[in-house]
Amino acid sequence: MKVEAYDDLDPTVTEDVHPHTFVVPGMEVRAGAAQDDEDGSSEFETRLIPSVQYYQIDLGPDSLNKLHEALKPFIAAAQECEPPKGGRKARAK
């Protein structure tokens, strides 16, 4: 059986294609517990919570280079760090 991988951005590319996993930061809106206002009414409080979404994509060399080029200014401004420890997701409070 022959298995071919296709570049998800350019399906004509099948050579040297590998899966790449990456994380995209974002903000999630959460509704908090109701709070009583002065007039006795209750409203839900909303707040932004930092979140991340994991993605996987199959890329060939040219597409991977395009991704690296697009990320260059962000990587240049960032500080290198260790990956998060453990596989547990943070619990919502």
Q: Tell me: the pLDDT tens digits for 23-76? A: 999 988 888 766 666 666 667 788 889 999 999 999 999 999 999 999 999 999
Query: Would you say 12 and 62 are in contact if contact means Cβ atoms under 8 Å apart?
Result: no
3-state secondary structure of 12: coil
Kindly tell me if the per-residue pLDDT of 82 is higher than 80. yes
Q: Which helix (H) or strand (E) holds 49?
A: strand 42-59
Round to whole Å and give the CA distance between 13 and 64.
12
> Cα dist. 61→13, 21, 50, 75, 93 in Å?
9, 15, 32, 19, 42
What is the structure's pLDDT at 68? Answer: 96
